[in-house]
């Protein structure tokens, strides 16, 4: 069956439901599609149809032509007003273009010769090329404003001719050594990470700070209301003091709560080796991250816990979860 044989609304609904096999060729040009839409609307007397039948015809037109619902509705409105569906010719721009493609290429070449100067300097260079050296091709660019010069720099013609791609420059922070710690089977090299206890209605939950010794697997959990510097520093002092051996190394990921100068000063004061995870080495801090799931999440889950309960959870961690006497 072909599209011309779909003469009833029932047949169209069967075609849309996929129960009616129909073979048809794809209309390639815009003029052909508009002409077919007009013939279909006339054939099924679209103006006299009910609301449900009009919806079926609209979906039928969308499926065959590939047009969006908004476009089909515009064409149906045009048919309802004029009785035809015609291609509207594009209007010509009423403004004359001041700067041509050639001018933009000249601007790009001038930028390349002088190492991408500022807009004001580039304007003076174009003025100098025309006024002093008599280069007539720079006549238009000699009168350009600095603001519009930047508009031409952002154009596709300029970008196609002169495009510079550079690698991302890393932001180097001189805090900690970026390497994996080497405990050499000695206790005292701890891994540390933070676990957030969910958000609810744009309100933050409590934070668990989890620290694990790499060799003995001795673990200390502290619960904080926030992980700002005011809460984190006292917690780190108490956490390090709770380990039953001397702390020799302190390893964290690149979180902002740890890679700060106050933490670096604390590690320097305690003469503790401060290391941080390397890029693309997810296993550098894998020990404590696995403990986050197998211990912290197993105990407290993922649900939101309001910040006012931080002290209760801190007492629970100290007195019940990990007691060391």
User: Is 280 within a domain?
Assistant: yes
Asked if residue 283 and residue 210 are part of one domain, the reply reads yes
Asked if residue 298 and residue 191 are part of one domain, the reply reads yes
Mean pLDDT of the chain: 85
User: Tell me, what's the pLDDT at 129?
Assistant: 92
Contact partners, residue 306, CB within 8 Å, separation at least 6: 200, 203, 205, 206
CATH number at 298 reads: 3.30.420.10
Q: Give the N- to C-terminal CA distance of the chain in Å, as an integer.
A: 86
| pLDDT tens figures, 146-193 | 999 999 998 888 887 876 666 667 666 678 888 888 888 899 999 999
Distance CA 23, CA 205 (A): 60
Per-residue pLDDT at 29 exceeds 70: yes
User: Is 89 within a domain?
Assistant: no
- Per-residue buried b or exposed e for 267-288, using 16+ beta carbons within 10 Å of the residue's own CB: beeeebbbbbbeeeeeebbebb
User: Is 166 within a domain?
Assistant: no
Beta-bridge partners for 213? 190
pTM for this predicted structure: 0.49
User: Is 73 within a domain?
Assistant: yes
Per-residue pLDDT at 23 exceeds 60: no
User: Is 88 within a domain?
Assistant: no
- Collapsing DSSP to helix, strand or coil, 303 comes out as coil
The answer to whether the CB of 235 falls within 8 A of the CB of 209 is yes
In 243-301, alpha helices (H): 261-269, 286-291, 297-300
Asked if residue 236 and residue 131 are part of one domain, the reply reads no
Distance CA 141, CA 129 (A): 10
Task: Provide the residue range defining the domain that includes 152.
Answer: 101-161
| Dihedral angle sign, alpha carbons of residues 222, 226, 227, 231 | negative
Distance CA 34, CA 54 (A): 18
User: Is 94 within a domain?
Assistant: no
> What percent of the chain has pLDDT above 90?
25
| pLDDT tens figures, 115-155 | 889 999 999 999 999 999 989 999 999 999 999 999 999 88
Beta-bridge partners for 249? 189, 273
Strands (E), the chain: 177-178, 189-196, 199-200, 203-204, 207-213, 219-224, 249-252, 273-276
The answer to whether the CB of 178 falls within 8 A of the CB of 254 is no
| pLDDT tens figures, 35-82 | 888 888 888 888 888 888 899 889 888 888 888 899 999 999 998 888
The count of structural domains within the chain is: 3
């Amino acid at each position: 069956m072909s599209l011309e044989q779909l003469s009833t609304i029932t047949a169209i609904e069967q075609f849309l439901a996929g129960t009616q096999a129909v073979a048809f060729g794809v209309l390639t040009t815009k003029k052909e599609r508009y002409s077919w839409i007009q013939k279909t609307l006339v054939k099924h007397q679209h103006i006299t149809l009910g609301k449900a039948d009009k919806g079926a015809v609209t979906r039928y037109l969308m499926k065959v032509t590939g047009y969006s619902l908004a476009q089909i509705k515009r064409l149906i409105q045009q048919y309802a007003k004029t009785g035809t569906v015609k291609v509207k010719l594009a209007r010509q721009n009423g403004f004359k273009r001041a700067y041509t493609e050639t001018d933009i290429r000249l601007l790009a070449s001038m930028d390349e010769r002088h190492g991408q100067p500022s807009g004001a300097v580039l304007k003076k260079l174009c003025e100098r090329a025309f006024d002093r050296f008599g280069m007539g091709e720079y006549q238009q660019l000699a009168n350009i404003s600095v603001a519009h010069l930047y508009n031409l720099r952002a154009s596709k013609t300029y970008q196609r001719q002169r495009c510079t791609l550079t690698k991302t420059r890393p932001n180097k922070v001189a805090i900690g050594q970026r390497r994996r710690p080497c405990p050499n089977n000695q206790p005292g090299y701890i891994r540390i990470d933070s676990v957030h206890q969910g958000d609810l209605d744009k309100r933050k939950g409590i934070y668990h700070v989890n620290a694990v010794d790499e060799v003995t697997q001795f673990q200390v959990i502290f619960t904080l209301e926030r992980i700002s510097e005011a809460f984190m520093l006292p917690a780190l002092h108490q956490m390090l003091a709770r380990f039953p051996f001397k702390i020799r190394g302190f390893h964290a990921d690149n979180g902002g709560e740890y890679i700060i100068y106050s933490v670096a000063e604390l590690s320097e004061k305690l003469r503790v080796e401060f290391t941080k995870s390397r890029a693309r080495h997810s296993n550098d801090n894998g020990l404590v991250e696995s403990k986050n799931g197998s211990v912290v999440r197993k105990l407290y889950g993922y649900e939101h816990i309001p910040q006012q309960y931080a002290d209760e959870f801190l007492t629970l961690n100290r007195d019940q979860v990990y007691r060391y006497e």
